């Protein structure tokens, strides 16, 4: 019996130990699983919105009418889609504002963009949020086409006389339409130099004033379009003559007279008149103007009596500051003192001109003999 009891106790004790060992093992296994689960929860990735790693870019030419295309740039977060907004900035690429309706990946440059720079905002979208990045600015947008270029000079029509109205044509121009025109009239010296713009002369028509008499006039036409502007100048007019009522009162130098204008001997005076003696010289005065009615200073005047031999030769004389040349003619003994006429050949010329050409003029005049 004692031996059987001891065996039973030993069996029970062994069973208890085994159970104890099994429980200990199970407890250890549960603790490891819990630890593993806790570690996994701490290292899980938190979802994030797209983030830009390389900004969008713009391709295309910065010119009116050109097509620009935006790239999306590079992003983290695997964006599912992108939206775009084009911006118009100042010439430095700052002070940008959204262009209404310009919300696609491509944008056609408009005339309103000329002189500005453009940018684009790209927004990336994903299930976790959005992110926006902005491109660099384009170059300054240039107008399309070409600036005006003159192909035929403007021309001035009208009579170069005080009180008359002159009109300038635009001439002919190449360049992108539309082209607008502006005008300025200039007063020059008689040779067409030393020109100065006439204040207030901004129309295609100009009424010649007293200040223009003795001068030449020309017009400037400035053509402008979106690409720029260019100016062309007409040829100058003839020297402006005084109004008919004032003709002869304005004096210019003979050097300012050139073809097609010519000299004119328009007035003649003799003293005494008629001639009654061979002993007294005849004082002849000749007034020289040009075909515009301007009195001429410095013209050379020559005269001789006809028939030849009735008067002595007299030296050529210049016209004075009023356009008059004075020559004393002395009769020879061959001039008869009977009722009749002394005919005189008179010539007025510009110094340096050929005697038979240039602006010179000739005339026959006569004085009575009694």
149-233: what CATH class? mainly beta
Q: Where are the alpha helices (DSSP H) in the chain?
A: 2-42
* Domain 51-134 listed as CATH 2.60.40.2700: yes
End-to-end CA distance of the chain: 207
Task: Give the pLDDT confidence score for residue 54 in this predicted structure.
Answer: 97
Cα Rg of the chain (Å, integer): 53
Which residue's entry shows tokens 């001039």?
335
Length of the chain: 370
What CATH architecture does domain 247-369 belong to? Sandwich (2.60)
| DSSP class of 315 | -
Q: Answer positive or negative: Cα dihedral of 353, 356, 361, 366.
A: positive
Which residue's entry shows tokens 């006809």?
306
For residue 79, what are the contacts with CB-CB under 8 A and spacing of at least 6? Answer: 50, 72, 124, 125, 126, 131
For residue 98, what are the contacts with CB-CB under 8 A and spacing of at least 6? Answer: 85, 86, 87
Which residue's entry shows tokens 């020059």?
188
Are the C-beta atoms of 291 and 265 separated by less than 8 Å?
no
Task: Give the pLDDT confidence score for residue 45 in this predicted structure.
Answer: 65
Please give the Cα distance from 337 to 210 (Å, whole number). 49
Are the C-beta atoms of 332 and 342 separated by less than 8 Å?
no
Per-residue pLDDT tens for 177-195?
899 999 999 999 988 899 9
Domain boundaries, the chain: 51-134, 149-233, 247-369
CATH topology match: 51-134 vs 247-369: yes
Helix (H) or strand (E) holding 135: none
- Beta strands 324-329 and 282-290 are antiparallel
Task: Give the pLDDT confidence score for residue 3 in this predicted structure.
Answer: 44
- From 287, 303, 284, select the one nearest 295 (Cα to Cα): 287
Helix (H) or strand (E) holding 169: none
pLDDT string in tens for the chain (370-residue length): 344 444 333 333 344 433 333 323 333 333 323 333 344 445 566 789 999 999 999 999 999 889 999 999 999 999 999 999 999 999 999 999 999 999 999 999 998 999 999 999 999 999 999 999 999 999 999 887 888 999 999 999 999 999 999 999 999 999 988 999 999 999 999 888 999 999 999 999 999 998 998 899 999 999 999 888 999 999 999 888 888 765 557 788 999 888 888 999 999 999 999 999 999 999 999 999 998 888 999 999 999 999 999 999 999 999 999 999 999 999 999 999 999 999 999 999 999 998 888 999 999 999 999 8
Task: Give the pLDDT confidence score for residue 243 in this predicted structure.
Answer: 83
Task: Give the pLDDT confidence score for residue 248 in this predicted structure.
Answer: 59
Are the C-beta atoms of 288 and 264 separated by less than 8 Å?
yes
Per-residue pLDDT tens for 16-25?
433 333 323 3
């Amino acid at each position: 019996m004692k031996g059987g009891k001891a065996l039973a106790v030993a069996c029970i004790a062994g069973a208890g130990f085994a159970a104890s060992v099994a429980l200990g093992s199970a407890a250890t296994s549960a603790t490891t699983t819990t630890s593993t689960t806790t570690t996994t929860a701490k290292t899980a990735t938190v979802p994030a919105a797209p983030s830009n790693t390389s900004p969008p870019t713009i391709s295309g030419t910065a010119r009116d009418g050109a097509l620009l295309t935006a790239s999306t740039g590079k992003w983290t977060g695997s964006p599912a889609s992108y939206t775009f907004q084009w911006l118009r900035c100042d010439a430095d690429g700052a002070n940008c504002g959204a262009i209404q309706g310009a919300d696609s990946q491509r944008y056609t440059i408009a005339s309103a963009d000329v002189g500005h720079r453009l940018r684009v905002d790209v927004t990336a979208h994903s299930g976790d949020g959005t992110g926006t990045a902005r491109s660099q600015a384009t170059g300054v947008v240039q107008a399309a086409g070409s600036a005006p270029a003159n192909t035929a000079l403007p021309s001035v029509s009208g009579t170069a006389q005080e009180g008359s109205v002159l009109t300038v044509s635009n001439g002919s121009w190449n360049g992108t339409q539309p082209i607008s025109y502006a005008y300025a009239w200039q007063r020059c010296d008689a040779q067409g130099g030393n020109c100065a713009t006439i204040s207030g002369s901004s129309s295609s028509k100009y009424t010649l004033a007293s200040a223009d008499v003795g001068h030449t006039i020309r017009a400037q036409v400035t053509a402008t379009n979106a690409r720029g502007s260019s100016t062309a100048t007409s040829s100058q007019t003839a020297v402006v003559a005084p109004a008919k009522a004032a003709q002869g009162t304005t004096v210019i130098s003979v050097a300012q007279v050139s073809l097609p204008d010519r000299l004119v001997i328009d007035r003649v005076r003799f003293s005494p008149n008629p001639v009654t003696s061979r002993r007294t010289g005849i004082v002849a005065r000749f007034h020289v103007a040009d075909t515009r009615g301007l009195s001429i200073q410095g013209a050379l005047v020559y005269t001789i009596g006809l028939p030849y031999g009735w008067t002595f030769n007299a030296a050529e004389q210049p016209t004075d500051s009023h356009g008059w040349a004075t020559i004393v003619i002395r009769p020879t003994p061959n001039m008869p003192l009977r009722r009749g006429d002394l005919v005189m050949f008179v010539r007025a010329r510009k110094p340096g001109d050929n005697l038979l050409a240039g602006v010179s003029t000739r005339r026959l005049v006569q004085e009575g003999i009694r």
